[in-house]
Amino acid sequence: MEDNSFGTHEFFELCEQLGCKTYINGNVGSGTVQEMSEWVEYMTFDGVSPMAQLRKENGHEKPWKVDYFGIGNENWGCGGNMTPEYYANLYRRYQTYVRHYDHAAPIKKICGGPNVDDVNWTQKVLDTCFASPHPDKKFHGYMDGLSLHYYVHPGGWDSKGSATDFDEKTWYQTLAKALYMEDLIKLHGDIMDQFDPKKKIGLIVDEWGTWFDVEPGTNPGFLYQQNTMRDALVAAVSLNIFNKHCDRVKMACIAQLVNVLQSVILTEGEKMILTPTYHVFHMYKYHQGAKLLDSVLTGVEKVGMKKCEVPALQESVSVQKDGTVTVTVANLSVDNSYPVEVVFMERKPEAVEGSILTNEMHAKNTFDRPDTVKEEALADVTLSERGVSLTIPPCSVVSLRIR
């Protein structure tokens, strides 16, 4: 049970230990401008003020760095059931008081964006935020990002289905819905392009992932669900999509980290296991900070069933500063292996290493068997005159590092 003892200080301590950036969200639905303003001051002001003094009295002399600050959350629903125009006017007001006390480390402000395909929300929020009086185009609607929330539940919101007990039809329904993320990025990106053609505003996909029924016998309010190879494939295709649209998608946060929804970690007392989703993130880490390369798959068949056909293979490719190319490929087929040749147009590879995550579609890690699904070295990958050749087995994710 969360007793609210994990607060501001604990959050920043966790972020410091993890070495990650910080993303704070302020309460617009039932909070005041003063509350938000004073919280920002408490966290980031390195001077003499009541809030800075309170922070010091609570044990932290120096201010923290807030990288991102969300002004409100899901204000179209649980955050206040607001209209887009009403929220956007509140956003303009509240963000004014998210002050940059350290101009060398400005806070990036995130505006509350749409739920799934609500283009009306996107259009009218941007209309209002860009409306007069507006001081300068360089302020791009007073925002650095616009959030988007989208969850995958194959049976729909009212019938999400089991996280572990599913058939092939449900497998393909799930992956088809995961692939819909690309349509959403294009849908909202087209509207954003009308206001922000230079893509200064990032699309912040700060809630995504699978959402199934809770595990039997657990508290329904805790949203605890197991994690199988199906979740791994959802993570893989989603990350490939985000990579391919990195000109607009600037952040993507899976929901959530530990014990809730599509977690990367599950715990039980002092025990901890890594989920299949964790291993996908580990395999994709080399894309972070790299440069996207153009890539295309040819000769890919469709698999699945009517209304939920999906491409058998899906990929993304990037290159790091040292010239190492990372290729990630997902095989969405439950049954079929496919030969894959990675062909380069302008280089001849000299070395390759790879890893693979594969198992039967229901496979999962448990506290009794924590390594049923794990990343392993990919043995059968060879260099050719044109590139790299391999066979990717069904229900698998592959990561290649090519030099």
* Catalytic positions: 74, 207
Give the per-residue SS3 of the chain.
CCCCCCCHHHHHHHHHHHCCCCEEEECCCCCCHHHHHHHHHHHHCCCCCHHHHHHHHCCCCCCCCCCEEEECCCCCCCCCCCCHHHHHHHHHHHHHCCCCCCCCCCCEEEECCCECCCHHHHHHHHHHHCCCCCCCHHHHHHCCEEEEEEEECCCCCCCCCCCCCCCHHHHHHHHHHHHHHHHHHHHHHHHHHHHCCCCCCEEEEEEEEECCCCCCCCCHHHCCCCCEHHHHHHHHHHHHHHHHCCCCEEEEEECCCECCCCCCEEEECCEEEECHHHHHHHHHHHHCCCEECCCCCCCCCEECCCCCCEECEEEEEEECCCCCEEEEEEECCCCCCEEEEEECCCCCCCCEEEEEEECCCCCECCCCCCCCCCCEECCCEEECCCEEEEEECCCEEEEEEEC
Which of 25, 67, 18, 26 has the alpha carbon at shortest distance from 44? 67
19 torsion bin: left (phi>0), alpha (psi -120 to 50), beta (else): left
- Provide the pairing of β-strand 145-152 with 381-383: unpaired
Q: How many CA atoms lie within 13 A of 350 on its CB side?
A: 3
Close Cβ partners of 317 (under 8 Å, ≥ 6 residues apart): 292, 293, 294, 295, 325, 326, 327, 328
Residues 6 or more apart in contact with residue 1 via CB below 8 angstroms: none
